Amino acid sequence: MIHHWILSTGRTGTVAIARDINARCTNGVAINEPHPRALTRMLGAMALDGRVSPRIQSLGWHGIAALRREPRAELLIESNALIQGLAGHLLSRSPQSQLLHIVREPTAYIRSAVNFGATPIKRLFSWYVPGWELSRTKGEVRRRLRTIGPVDMPSREALRYALHWRTMNSCLAELGNDLGPRYRRVRFEDMFDSTQQVYDQSLEWLGLELGPDQGNAVEVHNQSRRSLLRDFGSLPIEIRSQITEICEPLAQELGYDTL
């Protein structure tokens, strides 16, 4: 079995992609953020923070792998927004594995992430459970807020997700430099446009044999049902300026215009 990866910040349609692969691909099976999710997230975050050595990463992953129930197939496509810190280690173990990196326009990602992910329990875990969120992200949010002053919860979370966007996408882009032809980066907006051309090309690049299109590819799952953040322009100007400073240089490198 060949294990390929679809990695991103989250909020990039990977649930829809996994469902579509399982509906119409004849030689592959897809899984999205399989259990144990919490252990995977914490080990990945600690690896990105530089708090665990490669040896501990390997031992930790062996422990996690023993708990996972992976389907058997010619190709296993795993989409996971929690594993970036371990991606280099996992891809080095299998020279046949490929990485599809999906990147989303940062302000659209931040709005979706705040509206979907800023629930009380998720905020509690992000800020107070050790290893759940990158320690450097929390530290930088606090440093930036000291210069701005008190802000409301959506503004604070928008700043945190901006830093998350930069960290995760820069990590994956740097990994892509090492992987060469085993790495492919696509924009979320191109993956899910009306033509589905980039979408189908990306699945074929992963070696998947596609059956008839059942319309699942453009169906949106896990939509944000709340409106804590209506749009980027509704944030205070101080927060918008901080987010632009954080995200714009990398966004331009990844093919987006100014924010």
More confident residue, 153 or 222: 153
pLDDT at position 218, please? 54
128 vs 218: which has the higher pLDDT: 128
pLDDT score of 70 = 87
Q: Are 116 and 11 in contact (CB under 8 A)?
A: yes
Tens digit of each residue's pLDDT (9 = 90 or more) over 71-82: 888 999 999 988
Helices (H), 149-236: 153-179, 188-191, 197-205
pLDDT of residue 69: 86
pLDDT of amino acid 141: 96
Q: Taking residues 3-29, what's their average pLDDT? A: 93
Is 3 a residue whose pLDDT tops 80?
A: yes
- The pLDDT assigned to 222 comes to 54
Distances (CA, A) of 25 to 2, 36, 179, 190, 212: 15, 26, 25, 21, 9
Which spans in the chain are helix H? 14-24, 37-48, 54-67, 84-93, 106-117, 120-128, 135-148, 153-179, 188-191, 197-205, 237-253
Percent of the chain clearing pLDDT 70 (strictly above) = 95
Q: Which residues contact 25 (CB under 8 A, 6 or more apart)?
A: 203, 208, 209, 210, 211
| Domains of the chain as residue ranges with CATH | 2-253 (3.40.50.300)
pTM: 0.94
* Per-residue confidence (pLDDT) for residue 120, from 0 to 100: 84
pLDDT in tens, 195-225: 889 999 999 999 999 887 765 555 555 565 6
Of residues 121 and 254, more confidently modeled: 254
